[in-house]
Structure 1
Amino acid sequence: MCNIRSLLCALVLALPFSGIAHADIIDSWGAVKTPPPPALKPVTVTDPAHTALLLLDFDTSTCNDNERPDCVASLPHIADLLGRARQANLMTVYSLTSTGTLATVPSVIAAKGDEHVVRSGVDKFLNTDLEEALKSRGIQTVIIAGTVAHGAVLYTASEAALRGFKVVVATDGMSSKEPFGELSTAWILANAPAGVARNVTLTRSSMIGFPQ
């Protein structure tokens, strides 16, 4: 007598080779409609002592009109945000690319010299002391701006959220070579599962308020 369980297993294994047509995930990509941009929400920094501003991977070798014009366009917004954050005495952290230095950060958002600095790949928590530095200051919320959006911003914001920080992303302060990189990053952060989306707020720099 045939073993029914064995027959079922054989049938399942045979299905992909039985000539039955199966939908191809990749074939569906061409029909995907771009989703609308996620809603941006105003943010009020009520506890500056426990809030930090993270400026990720700004470097004149890539943040220029030839390589990444959107990065150049973002600099005035970031400069304004940085100025207001400094007035409110927020902790400021700069991350550097593998070849960057503080001297190559665009002058309009240049470091003063007493900020914390980390160097890593797309995840600025990986193999750095970023989490330790933030927690030693009692930081509970991080405001993030950076380039590239689908690199340093996406992975650092996601990792910060997973580590229990509240994350505010200044979307006019994140840039990619293509606008789709910026939109896709915003969409992923707004819709990501596993504790990311609920800890992330998308906003723009002018919608972030500080104590007077």
Structure 2
Amino acid sequence: MMQKRFAYQAASALMLVALAACSAVPTSAPATVGVNTLPEIPAPAPVTLAAGTTALLVLDINSAVCQPNPACLATVPAIVSLISKARAAKVPVLYSTTVSPSGPPPMLSAVAPQPGEPVVSTRANKFTGTNLEELLKQLKAETLVIVGSAANGAVMYTSFHANTRGFTVVVADDGISSPAAISTQVARYQVLNQPGFINAANTPLADKKVTLSRGDLITFK
């Protein structure tokens, strides 16, 4: 009986050794390549947009999201400039703010909405639980220009949802931010590579996809 047990244990040990050998990575296998290399992001593209069918979305430039974040505050001048350009061209400007137990945090005074400019309040995806899509349809908007923070939150998720609802999107690169620079870089990549809505080459105004542009490269006519 003892001999059979020893034989069984020996056979089991040999089997484990064999399995380990089969699953081991060969010593000649190359090291993982590119794991720490970020994909190249195409340069922002110039775009010319029809004022009558375009809307500008300013997402969460408020006291809770933007005020504590130096990277966000650094984008405010570019956002202010783009808002001024949009208003001058009679492009509708719509805002979002976040939710909190004490109520929606106010927008920073530099980018505050003017009377009649709508504000929706929700979490990252600004279409969820709001009338944003209805407002955009009332305005006959077909193309959305988006700025805001966080890039990997409100900007990314709202852009994707907009594409699913048939909108073409332009993200102004100098008007987006996140507390961590890597998060903004990830968002730049993701908005151009969203499954089902890929515009990896950043072709300007690819239909129902995202174009990465910049405030000074955006023209309303």
- TM category, shorter: 0.7 to 0.9
The letter for the 2-side match of 1:44 is T
1:32 aligns with 36
Distance 1:192 1:22 in 2: 35
Distance 2:215 2:115 in 1: 23
Using the TM superposition, name which of 189-198 and 179-188 deviates more.
Answer: 189-198
Q: 2:48–2:218: 8 Å Cα contact kept in structure 1? A: yes
1:72 aligns with 73
Distance 1:62 1:154 in 2: 15
Q: 1:162–1:196: 8 Å Cα contact kept in structure 2? A: no
1:11 aligns with none
TM alignment of 1:33-52, pairs within 5 A? 33-45=37-49, 47-52=50-55
Larger radius of gyration: 2
Distance 1:98 1:28 in 2: 42
TM-fit CA distance, 1:39:
2.3
Structure 1 position 97 matched with structure 2 position 103: no
Q: Which runs of 5+ in 2 are unaligned?
A: 1-18, 26-30, 200-205
Residues 155-206 of structure 1 deviation map (CA, whole Å, 9 limit, x = unaligned): 0001101111010000110110111111110101112221253511001111
Q: Which runs of 5+ in 1 are unaligned?
A: 1-17
Picking from 120, 124, 147, the partner of 1:118 is: 120
Closer, same or farther: CA 86–22 of 1 in aligned 2, 3 Å? farther
| RMSD, aligned α-carbons | 2.1
The letter for the 2-side match of 1:183 is Q
TM-score by length of 1: 0.81
Instruction: Give the count of matched residue pairs.
Output: 187
SS across alignment from 2:197: coil
1:128 aligns with 130
Distance 1:22 1:109 in 2: 58
Structure 1 position 109 matched with structure 2 position 111: yes
TM-score by length of 2: 0.78
Distance 2:60 2:216 in 1: 21
1:208 aligns with 218
1:186 aligns with 188
